[in-house]
Amino acid sequence: MTKNKNLNVLITGADGFIGKNLSVRLSEEPDIEIIKFVRGDSDKKLKSDINKSDTIIHLAGENRPDNEDAFKTNYYLTEKICEFIRLEKKNIPIIFTSSTQVTMDNLYSKSKLAAEKYLSELAMKNNNTVKIYRLPGVFGKWCKPNYNSVV
């Protein structure tokens, strides 16, 4: 009997609200190996993680930082991911969570839109499959209390 190859899934923002929930769910699948990239991890680790990955689920991002400069993380990390994929000539699919706010005129929306543009360029130039999901406010298990509101 031949054992199926495991699917190595890199989750950026694996300790965040969506990442934590997704990691728990995917860990229930016997043929999926989760590679976690979290705040504070190095570029060297990111490059190594990308090299080991078959798929990237890019969830990392800032949405309510104390300092507005932190919004740059939303596109800097995405730019690094795209750069490492190009350098390593990896043709792996990427799933990216953006925001329905990208049509607004604020630093958060501009940072998410910039990240989308990096990924769209990667898809066009390198033929990587890129799926961008613009999520509205999300709620659920491990959501920060008094963080989002329902209208």
Q: b vs e for 8-38, b when ≥16 Cβ sit within 10 Å of the residue's Cβ?
A: bbbbbbbbbbbbbbbbeeeeeeeeebbbbbe
Under 8 Å CB-to-CB from 57, ≥6 apart: which residues? 9, 10, 11, 12, 22, 94, 95
Tokens of 20: 């934590």
Q: Look up the pTM and report it.
A: 0.86
Please state, in angstroms and rounded to a whole number, the distance separating the CA atoms of residues 27 and 22. 8
76 carries an active-site annotation:
no
Return the residue matching tokens 């689920």. 57
Q: Tens-digit pLDDT profile for the chain (151 aa)?
A: 445 579 999 999 999 888 999 999 999 999 999 999 999 999 999 999 999 999 999 999 887 777 888 778 888 999 999 999 999 999 999 999 988 888 899 888 899 999 999 999 999 999 999 999 998 766 555 555 555 544 3
Find the catalytic residue in 75, 76, 108, 133: 108
Closest by CA to 132, choosing from 97, 100, 105, 107, is 97
